[in-house]
Chain A
């Protein structure tokens, strides 16, 4: 599974988006674009990313830019691998 596919799976799992994520692309807007993406969801997604990829996300790295789009989130995760 590529990073973007795995991130989409994590989003689908955490936000119960089901098959909707199939149509998501790198430029799909997360913050402000997906109504389910609230603070609980952000934390769930970060934790799932840490557990899945075995990386640690620093608090300073959690900002709105990282969660702007799927692409920005993928870029962030890949920079940590």
Chain B
């Protein structure tokens, strides 16, 4: 049976909380690094990602999951976080993986985690053979827009004071001030970095295998035009990419925690 090892490592700016899921018998070349989604989405996703880590460990993979600086159980406050720190955190995790004896790894990235691939590919020491994307954020601006809506929705329902839409939030950030949204203090620096991050601008290594999954409420829905554009672009660039849809709830944003067994099964099959 796999087993869990929680630990802290020194990150770019503060200690990072890591959760390593070890297989019964360690195979030195098989590892997976999980790149987390943004803010509250990680909260909701922890259960699904942990389950996936466990399933992959059952297949002989050592799976690394961690919290970015200022999020989850890692040190610091999100109000002090920056994209540079987060990319630096990823380098620190990669160093730990190299130290543990891995020279190659696969990546599982959820939502904003896909945009953090930029930091993974900067490291030339750890070879990446496969990338699995779960509902990847293709445009950081859209992610922020959705996040900012939390404030608008709270105002609409009357659980928070003041009326603030995305435009007004952007105005506050543009003036150099932070904004509190759903308990997360977003600073202008990180807002700016996420806003300008685009999946299509990330340069993937050649010959890498990419599996792209999107979740839908109904079978007859198809992958959005915006996603398809990026997928086509990657294909044109000669990348080995396949996209699939899974029918199931958007587990990273549901009110109660929810599992999507189909996504877990399909992902596990990629690694068997």
Contacts and interface: CB of A to CB of B under 8 A. Distances in A.
Contact of B250 (A42, A44, A54, A67): A44
A59 interface: yes
Interface string A29-48: 00100001011111110111
Contact of A15 (B182, B218, B255): B255
Given A40-B182, A44-B255, A51-B250, A62 B217 contact: no
A14 B153 CA distance: 15
Interface in A1-28: 1, 6, 9-10, 13-16
Contacts of A15: 254-256
B156 A42 contact: yes
B156 A63 contact: yes
Interface of A is mostly: helix
B78 interface: no
A34 B150 CA distance: 18
Interface stretch (B86-94, B196-204, B220-228): B220-228
B157 A16 contact: no
A48 B250 contact: yes
A52 B254 contact: no
B218 A6 contact: yes
Given A42-B157, A62-B152, A52 B216 contact: yes
Interface of A: 1, 6, 9-10, 13-16, 31, 36, 38-44, 46-48, 51-52, 54, 59-60, 62-64, 67
B250 A43 contact: no
B193 interface: no
Given A13-B217, A51-B214, 16 more contacts: A9-B218, A14-B253, A15-B254, A15-B255, A16-B256, A36-B255, A38-B159, A39-B153, A43-B253, A44-B254, A48-B250, A51-B216, A59-B149, A59-B167, A64-B157, A67-B156
Nearest to A53: B221
B198 to A, nearest CB: 17
B217 A59 contact: no
A62 B146 CA distance: 12
A52 B159 contact: no
Which of A36, A46, A52 neighbours the largest number of chain B CB atoms within 10 Å of its CB? A52
Nearest to B160: A39
B258 interface: yes
